[in-house]
Amino acid sequence: MKIIHCSDLHLDSKMETNLSKEQARERKDEILITFKNMIQYANDNEVQIIIIAGDLFDNSRVSAKAKNIVKDAILTNKDIDFIYLKGNHDVSNLFEEDEEIPENLKLFSSTEWKEYIYGNVVITGIELTKEDNYDKYNTLMLSKNNVNIVVMHGQEVTSDSSDDPEAININKLKRKNINYLALGHIHSYKMEKLGTKGKYCYPGCLEGRGFDECGKKGFVLLDIQDDKIKTEFIEFAKRTLYEIEVDITDLDTTSDVEKKIDKEIKEIPKESLIKIVLTGKVKIGSERDIDYLLKIYNEIYYFVKIYDKTTLAINYLDYEHDASLKGEFIRLILSQENISEEEKKQIIEAGIKALSGEEV
Q: Mark whether 108 and 187 lie in a shared domain.
A: yes
Cβ–Cβ < 8 Å for 187, 153: no
* Strand duo 303-308 + 311-312: pairing: unpaired
d(CA 12, CA 209): 11
* Strand duo 241-247 + 273-279: pairing: parallel
Q: Mark whether 201 and 323 lie in a shared domain.
A: no
Q: Mark whether 256 and 321 lie in a shared domain.
A: no
| pLDDT at position 132 | 65
- Verdict on whether the full-model pTM lies above 0.85: yes
| pLDDT at position 319 | 63
Count, in order, helices (H) and strands (E) of the chain: 6, 19
Which of these three, 216, 235, 254, is where a domain ends? 235
| pLDDT at position 204 | 97
* Length of the chain, in residues: 360
Which of these three, 235, 270, 285, is where a domain ends? 235
Secondary structure of residue 305 in the 3-state scheme: strand
Q: Mark whether 305 and 322 lie in a shared domain.
A: no
Q: Mark whether 65 and 131 lie in a shared domain.
A: yes
| pLDDT at position 92 | 67
Instruction: Read off the CATH number of the domain in which 83 is found.
Output: 3.60.21.10
Residues of the domain holding 15: 2-235
| pLDDT at position 154 | 94
Q: Mark whether 276 and 325 lie in a shared domain.
A: no
How many structural domains does the chain have? 3
Which of these three, 235, 263, 281, is where a domain ends? 235
Q: Mark whether 292 and 319 lie in a shared domain.
A: no
Instruction: Give the residue from 335, 287, 292, 283 showing the smallest Cα distance to 314.
Output: 283
Q: Mark whether 44 and 63 lie in a shared domain.
A: yes
Q: Mark whether 308 and 320 lie in a shared domain.
A: no
In the chain (360 residues long), the average pLDDT of successive 10-residue segments reads: 97 88 95 98 98 92 92 96 88 79 94 95 93 78 96 89 79 95 97 95 96 97 95 97 97 97 97 97 89 97 96 69 80 87 84 71
- In sequence order, the 6+-apart residues with CB closer than 8 A to the CB of 342 are none
Q: Which three-class secondary structure string do you get for 183-215?
A: EECCCCCEEEEECCCEEEEECCCCCCCCCCCCE
Q: Mark whether 35 and 167 lie in a shared domain.
A: yes
| pLDDT at position 156 | 94
Q: Mark whether 135 and 252 lie in a shared domain.
A: no
Q: Mark whether 81 and 213 lie in a shared domain.
A: yes
> Per 3-state DSSP, what percentage of the chain is helix, strand, and coil (rounded to 5)?
25, 30, 50
